[in-house]
Every structure is written in C-alpha cells, then in structure tokens.
C-alpha cells in the first residue's frame, strides 16, 4: 500500500501524502469541508458572533485578499495576464468553486464581467436559506482582477443565482472602493449607531429622572385643618420654579388652606429664581386667601433676600418647621397640649 497519490484533473494536480497527512492542490496544501454541513456551520458561527453586516464584510474582505494571493501566485507561475485569465476558469471549476466564465474582458478599460454558476458560496447560501447574493466570490474576483490589472477594481452584482437567476454575474471596473474603506465605513456606521442608541438611552433616562424629580420634589403636606406645608428641596431654575408655582397654586383651593408654611431648610442653592419664586408664591397665595409662613431660612438665603430688597415685613419668618406650625395654630386660636 502506497502513502502517496497523485491525479491530474482538467489540468490541475491533486496530491496526497498520507504519511505526512498532506493534501495539495496545485502544489499548495488544502483542506476539504462538507459544504452543506461543516462549512455552513463555520460561516453561520461567524455571522452569529459578529452580526450579519459585519460577517458579510468579513467574507468580502477575505475574498478580496485571497484573490490578491491567487493573482500573485499565478503571475509568478504563469506570468502573462492573458494566460492566467484563460486558465483560471478551469482551475476554479476543478476546485469545486463553480462553473466560471469570463464573458467580457477589456485590458485597456480594466473591466470584466464574470459569470459563476453553482459556486460553493451559492450552495452555502442556499443551505442557509438566504436570498441575497454572497460577498466572498465577488470580493475574491475583485482581488484577482485588481492584482492582474495592476489597478483597484470593484464589483456590482448584475445577476444572482441566490436570488433566483440561473447564475450569478458580476461586473468589475476601476473604483475607489476597497475593503479597507468598507471596513472604516462599517466601523463609523456602527459608532454612529452606538452613539445614537446611547443618546436615546440618556435622553430617556433624563426624561424619567425629570419626571421623578417633579413627582417627589417640593411635596405639599397637609399637617392640620387649614395648615399645609410645602417642603422646598434642592436648587430651582426657571423651569422647575415655574413647575412648582403652577403645581402649588392649582392645589391650594383643594386644601382650603389658611396657612401655607414654606419650609426652606433643604434649599441647596440660592439664586434669582429662588427669590423670585418666593415672591410669586407669597403674592399668589395671598390672592387665593392663604397666608405664607417662611421657616428654615439659611444665612445665605437671608442675605440674598436682603440684597434683593424684597419686602418681608408682613411675612412671618421662623427658624424651624415646628415653630411655624405652632405659630399657625396660634393664629387660629389653637395650640398643642399633652393629654
């Protein structure tokens, strides 16, 4: 029993060295895959991990680069471009890459039309249930012709066996498109998509937080009959001040409050919006028949009120909420006593 086997098929040599576990096609080592099972699984895995668009670009780029390798190999072994393009269709059909025909060929224009029938990529795509032409063989021939013409060419799909045509047909012509540019475009597109998704996520989160702040900030707390407390919390800008004013004044009639105690203890920053808000709350509440009492005024707030020249002679100002409640009760002729 021999360890070496050789056969010539359609002008292409196949060699096996069982002792070395080597299988060669045209003098270089190759490996066999079952198209509908093993190779399909290989490509499915790439697509599953990287995504359909990225996988398509991976195959297209790999096809282009292997095409450059093929053109370089045959330029060294055969030499003339004309002879290479005459022999390549036989080589590809022998290797199981499909029946390949070069229908149009112009060396001056660096243009070609290549037809592929029953190529391995079509068989894989069919097994995958796809209806869109694959990108490997088109990219591969773009690489082959770019190497042979000495000028970058790219392709457009004229017919697609995967889409239902009797064969796939690609037109190749000079172009500024390259796999590298396609990779950069895909990365930029992905970055834009990621940025948009992040912006949308931030916008939604911000909107949720704004709604939450509106719900929990400055709550109106009924304390006793005719007495309510409004706890002012945090920093007030123009929008938040307007929101608080509208919310408070719309709810005052419901409580039929005689006194509104404004608890300013938790105000974190004092500015013109805060002072303006206090003035509007006091004045508007008075028009609704409710008197305001200010409690918990900080030194910073007191200085800001003085510098604003806001008149507060008729507004009770007390140090704590407890004192404010006792004051309001006293105005009603009531007081809190132990049992």
Percent share of the chain, pLDDT over 90: 42
User: Is the model's pLDDT at 246 over the cut of 90?
Assistant: no
**Domain count for the chain:** 3
In Å, what is the CA distance from 98 to each residue of 22, 28, 90, 133, 196? Answer: 24, 20, 10, 15, 43
Structural contact between residues 266 and 305, judged by C-beta atoms closer than 8 angstroms: no
Is 26 found in the same domain as 60?
no
User: Is the model's pLDDT at 235 over the cut of 90?
Assistant: no
Structural contact between residues 272 and 296, judged by C-beta atoms closer than 8 angstroms: no
Let me know if residue 233 belongs to a domain: yes
Structural contact between residues 218 and 233, judged by C-beta atoms closer than 8 angstroms: yes
The most confident of the ranges 120-134, 227-241, 262-276 is 120-134
212 compared with 201, residue with greater pLDDT: 201
Strand partners, 259: 227, 291
Which pLDDT does position 255 carry in this prediction? 87
Is 146 found in the same domain as 69?
yes
| CA distance linking residue 141 with residue 146, whole number of Å | 8
Kindly give the residue spans of alpha helices, DSSP state H, lying in the chain: 40-50, 52-77, 81-94, 120-128, 136-149, 179-216, 238-255, 272-287, 299-307, 321-331
* Per-residue model confidence as pLDDT tens digits over 148-202: 999 999 999 999 999 999 999 999 999 888 777 766 665 665 666 667 777 777 7
Which pLDDT does position 194 carry in this prediction? 64
Which pLDDT does position 168 carry in this prediction? 96
Q: In what order do the strands lie in the sheet with 220-224?
A: 220-224, 227-234, 259-267, 291-295, 317-318
Is 150 found in the same domain as 261?
no
| CA distance linking residue 35 with residue 194, whole number of Å | 35
Say how many residues make up the chain: 339
User: Which domain range does residue 257 map to?
Assistant: 217-331
Of the listed ranges 47-56, 136-145, 287-296, 308-317, the least confidently predicted one is 308-317
Which pLDDT does position 178 carry in this prediction? 79
User: Is the model's pLDDT at 127 over the cut of 90?
Assistant: yes
Is 112 found in the same domain as 74?
yes
CATH number of the domain at 270, please: 3.30.750.24
Is 266 found in the same domain as 138?
no
166 compared with 222, residue with greater pLDDT: 166
Is 172 found in the same domain as 47?
yes
Let me know if residue 312 belongs to a domain: yes
Is 106 found in the same domain as 21?
no
Q: Choose the final residue of a domain: 177, 194, 225.
A: 177
Let me know if residue 263 belongs to a domain: yes
113 pLDDT band, cuts 50/70/90, is very high
Let me know if residue 192 belongs to a domain: no
- Residues 6 or more apart in contact with residue 163 via CB below 8 angstroms: 131, 132, 133
| CA distance linking residue 267 with residue 244, whole number of Å | 13
- Residues 6 or more apart in contact with residue 214 via CB below 8 angstroms: 243
240 compared with 289, residue with greater pLDDT: 289
Is 56 found in the same domain as 141?
yes
Is 18 found in the same domain as 134?
no
Is 65 found in the same domain as 2?
no
pTM, entire model: 0.57
| CA distance linking residue 40 with residue 33, whole number of Å | 9
Is 16 found in the same domain as 150?
no
* Per-residue model confidence as pLDDT tens digits over 255-272: 888 999 999 888 877 777
């Amino acid at each position: 029993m021999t360890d070496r086997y050789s056969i010539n098929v359609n002008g292409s040599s196949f060699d096996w060295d069982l002792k070395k576990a080597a299988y060669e096609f045209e003098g270089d080592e190759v490996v066999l895959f079952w198209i509908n099972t093993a190779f399909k699984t290989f490509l499915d895995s790439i697509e599953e991990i990287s995504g359909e668009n990225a996988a398509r670009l991976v195959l297209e780029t790999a096809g282009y680069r292997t095409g450059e390798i093929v053109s370089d190999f045959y330029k060294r072994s055969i030499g003339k471009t004309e002879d290479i393009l005459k022999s390549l269709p036989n080589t590809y059909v022998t290797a199981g890459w499909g029946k390949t025909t070069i229908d149009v060929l112009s060396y001056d224009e660096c243009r070609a039309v290549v037809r592929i029938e029953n190529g391995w990529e079509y068989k894989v795509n069919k097994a995958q249930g796809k209806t869109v032409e694959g990108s490997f063989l088109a990219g591969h021939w773009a690489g082959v012709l770019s190497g042979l013409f000495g000028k970058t060419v790219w392709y457009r799909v004229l017919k697609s066996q995967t889409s239902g045509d009797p064969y796939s047909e690609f037109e190749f012509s000079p172009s500024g498109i390259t796999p590298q540019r396609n990779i950069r475009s895909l990365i930029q597109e992905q970055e834009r998509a990621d940025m948009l998704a992040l912006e949308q996520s931030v916008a939604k989160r911000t909107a949720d937080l704004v709604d939450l702040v509106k719900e929990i900030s400055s709550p109106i707390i009924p304390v006793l009959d005719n007495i309510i407390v409004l706890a002012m919390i945090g920093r007030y800008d123009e929008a938040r001040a307007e929101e608080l004013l509208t919310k408070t004044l719309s709810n005052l009639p419901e409580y039929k409050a005689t006194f509104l105690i404004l608890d300013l203890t938790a105000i974190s920053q004092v500015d013109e919006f805060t002072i303006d808000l206090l003035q509007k709350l006091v004045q508007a509440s008075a028009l609704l028949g409710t008197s305001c009492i200010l409690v918990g005024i900080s030194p910073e707030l007191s200085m800001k009120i003085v510098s604003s020249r806001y008149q507060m002679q008729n507004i009770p100002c007390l140090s704590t909420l407890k004192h404010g409640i006792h004051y309001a009760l006293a105005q009603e002729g009531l007081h809190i006593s132990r049992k």
